[in-house]
Structure 1
């Protein structure tokens, strides 16, 4: 693998940023809408607890289903993640510091 190609692949494109933002928006919407068991979190300093909705498996199944339907309708490419893997990695790394 050429070093120039590797460095070029690490620069996130606008498409990879859009894919990542759409994924974050999906996680926010699915996490707030999908039903799930409420589980108490760790005890906070004031003695109270936050409760978390465990719906990750449902969100994953819905995401795979939506991607399958979108792929069948030629709306989204099934290889979008593998085609832009390094760009998505660097965009995620940049977002983690923002």
Structure 2
């Protein structure tokens, strides 16, 4: 979605707005997307990014944007959540 009072991606303002509303830290979330703009948004917000290989852009675009992880199947996102974010649960 979009809000007139917040800048669009790749500006991190929307991400920080949502994190604040949900009372979450950047270490408790992954930003999932299929474009370099999604990866840049994650990087600007201080989040780890997950690039999906079934999106509309070539995977190399995500790699060039410094994506943290790439996945070729939705199940892999669950694995990342269990393995990566579990380290941050107290």
Q: TM-score, normalised by structure 2?
A: 0.29
The structure carrying a bigger helix percent of its residues is 1
Higher relative contact order (CA 8 A, sep 6+): 1
Flag the structure with larger Rg.
Answer: 1
